[in-house]
Structure 1
Amino acid sequence: MLVDHPDHVVRDHTHDHDEHADSVAPFANPYDYEIVTGMFRALSNPVRAAILHRIAHAPHTVTELVECMELSQPMVSQHLKVLRDATVVKAERCGRTMVYTVADEHVCRVFRLALEHAVEDQPYPPQTEAVHQDLHYHHQHGKRVATP
């Protein structure tokens, strides 16, 4: 908080420690941190982030994701398994088809905040076009993109 002083503007630090107190939970146990880092690890791949973004807008089947993302079915399935294992998405059977949805609203909120943070006042990194071209090449030639 800025406070007017007769000679200059001074930053009042008396309330700084309370600024984010309500937005962060108390310290968790080590297992909770493993779950959190697992979620971020699952989202660290641009293809998985894009899949989550689509699923966050509406439930999708593997076939729908294959078509809209122009990726192979095995690649989409592999990425969905990573997202499922990290409890980022969940699958529900609808007849003979699996429909994927976001695990819960917390995941949507975390992803939305991360995406907003990533794009605010920042130019796209130079590797963005290269990643897109690489995915397109692998799709056209039926090659698998390695996942971390």
Structure 2
Amino acid sequence: MKPHEASQCCGPIDDLLDAELFKALGEPTRLKLLSCLAKCGRPCSVTELAECCDVDYSVVSRHLGMLERSGVLSASKEGRTVFYNVRYQHLTDAFRSLAKAIETCRPKCGTKKP
């Protein structure tokens, strides 16, 4: 199948390639925040997470907000403090489903190139 033909048909991969998720994960500071939060294994405040990075508190807050909007994190407010937590199940389900969809697109053994 040619690329133009492939772009015209739908497959599971089309629904699973979430641009917002990849945009959120495509920035080094956000990845560092996600990694720090995942390794903590508990909800953390913006103040706690700001200690992981060499950027201003307000920048950390914006990064965490983007990760929340993309579905990577959940947020809960206690008084004036916002705590962020990794949505582990959501992320693992999303990446497993995407991996399966990519696998179904993979050419079968012995398929010749045009």
Matched, 1:45 2:30: no
Q: 1:68 aligns with which of 49, 52, 57?
A: 52
**What is aligned with 1:125?**
none
Task: Give the 3 Å change call, closer, same or farther, for CA 67–29 of structure 1 in structure 2.
Answer: closer
Q: In terms of Rg, which structure is larger?
A: 1
CA contact (8 A) 1:60 1:100 kept: yes
CA contact (8 A) 2:32 2:52 kept: no
Percent identical residues: 34
User: Could you state the TM-score of these two structures normalised by the residue count of structure 1?
Assistant: 0.48
Q: 2:62 aligns with which of 56, 62, 78?
A: 78
Task: Give the 3 Å change call, closer, same or farther, for CA 108–46 of structure 1 in structure 2.
Answer: farther
- Consecutive unaligned residues of structure 2, counting only runs of 5 or more, are 1-10, 96-114
**Alignment RMSD, CA only?**
2.2
Q: What letter matches 2:86 in structure 1?
A: V
**What is aligned with 1:20?**
none
Q: What letter matches 1:72 in structure 2?
A: D
Q: What letter matches 1:28 in structure 2?
A: P
CA contact (8 A) 1:56 1:108 kept: no
Q: What letter matches 2:44 in structure 1?
A: H
- Consecutive unaligned residues of structure 1, counting only runs of 5 or more, are 1-26, 111-148
Q: Give how far 1:67 is off.
A: 2.0
Aligned residue for 2:85, secondary structure, equals strand
Task: Give the 3 Å change call, closer, same or farther, for CA 95–81 of structure 1 in structure 2.
Answer: same
Moved >3 Å (runs of 4+): none
Higher RCO (C-alpha under 8 Å, 6+ residues apart): 2
**What is aligned with 2:81?**
97
